[in-house]
Amino acid sequence: MTHQYTYDYPRAALTVDCAVFGLDDEGLKVLLIQRDAEPFAGCWALPGGYVEMDESLDAAARRELEEETGVRPRFLEQLRAFGAVHRDPRGRVVTVAYYGLVRLADHRLRAASDARDARWHPVDQPLRLAFDHAEILGVARERLRSAVCYQPLARELLPDKFTLRRLQQLYETVLGHTLDKRSFRKKILSLDLLTELDQWESGVAHRAARLYRFTRRRGGAAGPRRPRC
Amino acid sequence: MTHQYTYDYPRAALTVDCAVFGLDDEGLKVLLIQRDAEPFAGCWALPGGYVEMDESLDAAARRELEEETGVRPRFLEQLRAFGAVHRDPRGRVVTVAYYGLVRLADHRLRAASDARDARWHPVDQPLRLAFDHAEILGVARERLRSAVCYQPLARELLPDKFTLRRLQQLYETVLGHTLDKRSFRKKILSLDLLTELDQWESGVAHRAARLYRFTRRRGGAAGPRRPRC
DNA sequence: CCAAAAGTGTTCTCCATACACCCATGC
DNA sequence: GCATGGGTGTATGGAGAACACTTTTGG
């Protein structure tokens, strides 16, 4: 690394923070840690931490997530930077926020590093968060809502095999409103994203539903609508 | 500002860079500066520079833009951060990129500060840019394309009074494909975003076109389509 | 009168929406 | 047999896309 052209003014610190969503029977959850260190010790926060000098932002986000919670999301994408001057009591700290999706069942949480505890928290239950993390979470939630119409995000949240009802519930949860069952099934099946299996769910006290699986990688959005421009 | 909790590891430097678009008769232009200082002295680049400790990211972007080019866009929004490890030969520098829109006619450029020169450059003419600015510009261009369908961005690019043809050209330029004249006019007028004026363009060698102006109220999208979710 | 752009409606197709009943299963 | 959710088709309306000719003006 060359340093021919030096810049020796005071520098802001740089962190990453991750809003990782998962889905279970109770609804949409977000991954939170309980901070172990000051400031905001004991307070819940998005997992994240300082960016090292020799790692990209994306790598830093994955590393911090892994260190603090053990979670390694398949999907993790940058949201944007948050840089209000006084967002961190330690001084000037700019953070680059990420949002991610995981199959919740695949991940056992293990809190470590700066995290005293790690939990999946229902997104619709407000909770006081450290720093400006409530704002970041809000922006992430909003991004998820709009992205779900354009990107096949459902495959990142659902287990391998799932019922159409489950898929519909996902969309309803993320979008925040109900969808018509027949229209939803017609639409989703017409997109050719799903493979119909000769398997049915089990352990239910009623007629068992057919299971589906996402077809191998294709372009195309899996959503109730796919607007073009 | 309290510094109770110190963090004394090496820190990345933090910059902002702006991809500002303008429109004239020749098409869509992007605002570039010719760098005066190393690295990349003499090379064209997006205007930008270091973030000060006591200013927000947004403020830094506007300040650098003003300092280097004299341009003060009404619309300037964050794109995302770019943080590849070796994107800057000086060492670790993370940049937060912005994209903006200006009414090109309103702005006389004046290069200053770190900029030897400042110019409006046609976006479709490739040019070797400093750092990873070509990538940033590409992402900004892409964002503009998708944003134009959802946000009334045209009012930021056009002069106060304009013809429907001019507006249509704008959409065609930004979207990169032609639109049907009758359908476009029908659609755009049905959105109630424009006020019909009793004025006509002048100085043309054919029938003069009626002028329009954007109505005051905000909130609607001005685009060929307005998909919902 | 010619060139150049302004201005104007209709038809068709597609897709989202709304809506109700029978079926299979476990208890 | 009954409660629970699974699974299915049709009718309607709105919006985008495609399409050609007449009008106006300056030169």
pLDDT digits (tens, 9 = 90+) for A70-88: 999 999 999 999 999 999 9
Q: Count Cα atoms within 13 angstroms, Cβ side, for A86.
A: 2
| A 137-166: CB under 8 A from B | 145-146, 149
- pTM for this entry: 0.92
Q: Do B229 and A229 touch (CB under 8 A)?
A: no
Chain B environment of A53 (Cβ under 8 Å): 9-10, 12, 92
- For the domain made up of B154-214, the CATH class stated in words is mainly alpha
Averaged pLDDT, B48-73: 97
A86, B1 Cβ separation under 8 angstroms: yes
Of the pLDDT bands very low, low, confident and very high (cuts 50, 70, 90), residue B2 is very low
B229 strand C contact, CB < 7 Å: no
**Strand C within 7 A of B121 CB:** no
Going from the C-alpha of B78 to that of each of A110, B94, B99, B149, the distances in angstroms are 34, 14, 6, 18
Q: Which residues of A127-159 are buried (b: 16+ CB within 10 A; e: fewer)?
A: eebbbbbeebbebbbebbeebbbbbbbbbbbbe
Domain ranges in chain A are: 13-147, 154-214
Nucleotide nearest to B225 (CA to C1'): D16
Residues of B in contact with A90 (CB under 8 A): 2-7
Contact between residue B24 and residue A112 where contact means Cβ atoms under 8 Å apart: no
Pick the residue with more confidence: A93 or B9?
A: A93
Q: Judge if B13-147 and B154-214 fold alike in CATH terms.
A: no
**Fold entry, domain B13-147:** Nucleoside Triphosphate Pyrophosphohydrolase (3.90.79)
Give A86 to chain B, closest Cα distance, Å: 8
Residue A127 has a pLDDT of 96
Question: Greater confidence, B227 or A34?
Answer: A34
How far apart are alpha carbons B225 and B158 in whole angstroms? 19
Give the closest residue to B21 by CA, choosing from B168, B145, B191: B145
Distance B183 CA to C9 C1' (A): 11
Mind telling me how many Å the CA of B225 is from chain A's nearest CA? Answer: 7
User: What is the pLDDT at residue A149?
Assistant: 87
Q: Is the pLDDT of residue A155 over 50?
A: yes
Average confidence (pLDDT) over A10-35: 95
Rounded average pLDDT over B210-214: 96
Closest Cα to residue B7, out of A110, A10, A103, A83?
A10
Distance between CA B114 and CA A123 in Å, rounded? 46
Per-residue confidence (pLDDT) for residue A226, from 0 to 100: 44
Q: What is the pLDDT of residues A137-151, one digit of tens each?
A: 999 999 999 999 888
Contact B68, B107 (CB under 8 A): no
List all nucleotides in chain D with at least one atom under 7 A from a protein Cβ. Answer: 3-10, 15-20, 23-27
Q: Which residues touch strand D (CB under 7 A)?
A: A 163-165, 181-183, 185-186, 200, 205-210, 228; B 180-183, 187, 204-208, 224-226
Nearest residue on chain A to B55, alpha-carbon basis:
A85
Percentage of the residues of chain B whose pLDDT score is greater than 70: 91
Q: Greater confidence, A200 or B112?
A: A200
- What strand order describes the sheet that includes B162-163? B162-163, B210-214, B194-200
Q: What is the arithmetic mean of pLDDT over B81-93?
A: 97
For residue B51, which of B64, B36, B33 has the smallest C-alpha distance?
Answer: B64
Span CA (B208) to C1' (C7), Å: 11
Instruction: Report pLDDT for B228.
Output: 41
CA-to-CA dists, residue B227 to A56, A79, A226, B149, B222, angstroms: 35, 22, 9, 8, 11
How many percent of chain B have pLDDT more than 90?
A: 80
Q: B2, A89: Cβ pair inside 8 Å?
A: yes
pLDDT at A123: 96
